[in-house]
Chain A
Amino acid sequence: AQSVTQLDSHVSVSEGTPVLLRCNYSSSYSPSLFWYVQHPNKGLQLLLKYTSAATLVKGINGFEAEFKKSETSFHLTKPSAHMSDAAEYFCVVSDQSGGYNKLIFGAGTRLAVHP
C-alpha cells in the first residue's frame, strides 16, 4: 500500500530564510507524488506534482521538490520564505490500486514564518 510520512509536524522559519519540509513515501511501484498547501478557510491548492518525468519539480510560488528514489523522499524546498507562505502543507501520494486514482495524504506540516 502507498503511504507518505511527513517528518515534521511544525516548522518555523524567519522571513527570507530557506524552507525545507520533509516527506518520505512508501510505494510498491513508481509513485505519483504531490505537495498541496492549505491556507486557513481556503481550499487545498496544488503546489507541484511528480509523475515520473524530471526528478526536480518546480511548482508555484517558488517552491520545488526533488524526487529521490534511493532515499524514498520528496522534500519540499523554497530558497526564501515569505510571510504569506505560512500555512499547512500536505505531502500526497497517488494510490492507483483498486481501479481508482485515490490520494493518500500525509499528516501535514504547519509552516510558521516569523518576521
Chain B
Amino acid sequence: GAVVSQHPSWVICKSGTSVKIECRSLDFQATTMFWYRQFPKQSLMLMATSNEGSKATYEQGVEKDKFLINHASLTLSTLTVTSAHPEDSSFYICSARKTNNNEQFFGPGTRLTVL
C-alpha cells in the first residue's frame, strides 16, 4: 500500500501562536508533497506544492510567509501556520506522490482550531 500519515490529527491553539503539522509517507518515498485546505462543507483547495530539497510553490493568494512549508526528506513535509488567527481554522490535508508515479495518496487531515 501507500500510506500517508499526518500529525497531529487535531490541534487547538491560541491566536498569535504557531502550529506545525507533519505529513509523512510511511512506506514509500515522495519527491513531491501537496498541502490542501478544506473549509467546512467545501472542497479542497491546493495551497502549495513542495519538492524535496527545494522551495515550495504556492498557489495564488496563499501567503508563503504565513504558511511555511519544509520538505527536508523524501518522507516528511511540514506545514507551519505562523501567528495563527481564528480565520486560519480549517482542515489541512496533505498528499504525497510517489517518485515516478502521478498518483497522489492523501493523509487523514489535521483539524486546526484557533481560539
Please list the residues of chain A having a beta carbon within 8 angstroms of any beta carbon in chain B. Answer: 32, 36, 41-46, 49, 90, 94, 100-108
- CB neighbours of B45 from chain A (8 A): 105
Q: Are B102 and A94 in contact (CB under 8 A)?
A: yes
Q: Given that A44-B93, A94-B102, A100-B57 are known contacts, is A105 also in contact with B108, CB under 8 Å in the complex?
A: no
Q: Are A43 and B107 in contact (CB under 8 A)?
A: yes
Closest residue of chain A to B3 (Cβ to Cβ) is: A43
Q: Are B42 and A107 in contact (CB under 8 A)?
A: yes
B15 CB → nearest A CB, Å? 26
Q: Are B43 and A107 in contact (CB under 8 A)?
A: yes
- CB neighbours of A43 from chain B (8 A): 4, 93, 106-109
Residue B44 is within 8 A (CB to CB) of chain A in the complex: yes
Selected contact of B102 from candidates A44, A101, A104, CB within 8 Å: A101
Which label, helix, strand, loop or mixed, suits the secondary structure of the B interface? strand
For the A-B complex with A44-B44, A100-B57, A106-B43 known, give 11 more contacts whose Cβ atoms are closer than 8 Å.
Answer: A32-B102, A36-B106, A43-B108, A44-B106, A46-B103, A49-B103, A100-B32, A100-B49, A101-B102, A103-B46, A108-B43
Q: Are B43 and A101 in contact (CB under 8 A)?
A: no
The size bracket of the interface on B is 20 to 34
Residues from 47 to 93 in B contacting A, C-beta threshold 8 Å: 49, 57, 93
Q: Are A102 and B46 in contact (CB under 8 A)?
A: yes
B54 CB → nearest A CB, Å? 12
- CB neighbours of A103 from chain B (8 A): 34, 46, 95, 104
Q: Are A90 and B43 in contact (CB under 8 A)?
A: yes
- CB neighbours of B34 from chain A (8 A): 102-103
Interface centre among A41, A42, A43, A90 (most CB of B within 10 A): A43
Q: CA A44 – CA B3 in complex, angstroms? A: 11
